Amino acid sequence: MTTWLLLAGAGGAGWYWHLVAQRLRARGDDVVAPDLPADDPSAGIPRYVEVALAALGDRSDVVVVGSSLGGPSAAEIARTTPVRRLVLVNAMIPAVGESPGDWWTASGHEEVKEAAVRAAGREDAGFDEEWEFLHDVPADVVAAGAEHQREQTDGPFRDGWSLPAWPDVPVTVVVGRDDRFFPADFQVRLARERAGVEAVVIPGGHLLALANPDGLTRALVDAVSDPARTGSESAPPLAQ
């Protein structure tokens, strides 16, 4: 039995994973999807990791999965805790020595995002949650999620934490083909440069666990059952 430790992105709501969790549990797997302390401005990545590991307890045969802002926490858990595999889903793939606050510029995201916005003809539209995040999430799921939303403070972006070393475990990167926040080509490049793997690209936007839970569940299961299929056993990460 696989234990899945699922870490959400901004807002830290474990509810984000509920559709995927249902599907994984139906297979007989164990799922831990903790609420992370996103609304605590004093909490940075080390605290997120502490909360996640407390929820995990002494479970074994663990695959840690990080979505978006959950990526750095998942990578740190994979570095320090015995896990079978690290899976990064539309994630902020960290580089060694780079803080989450520096990620936006160092990764090239700012330029990529500006180009994507221009290409969509939205230069003067400003931030639009519907366009960036909810465009492919069913309306009933969006409505159900309202009560689970919490403010994301800047704790992880200003606490100065950075990844000390790349985790010595197999890595899979799953990318949403239709992600408007982290465009797919950008993510594929980071997967090669930072994780040393070819990304698995599936239909769906940034909130893959809500927009395409069937496809994401298949990608997660494939990652642990057929590593060669994911391309996750390729070269080690490039030097930063």
- Tens digits of per-residue pLDDT, 36-79? 999 999 999 999 999 999 999 999 999 999 999 999 999 999 99
- Tens digits of per-residue pLDDT, 4-45? 999 999 999 999 999 999 999 999 999 999 999 999 999 999
Helix 70-80 with 45-56: angle, nearest 10 deg: 60
Please give the pLDDT value at position 76. Answer: 98
Q: Is the pLDDT of residue 82 over 80?
A: yes
Query: What's the predicted TM-score (pTM) here?
Result: 0.92
- The answer to whether residues 215 and 203 touch, using CB atoms and an 8 Å cutoff, is yes
- Tens digits of per-residue pLDDT, 111-138? 998 888 888 888 766 778 888 999 999 9
Question: Which CATH fold topology does 3-230 show?
Answer: Rossmann fold (3.40.50)
Sign of torsion, CA 174 180 184 186? Answer: negative
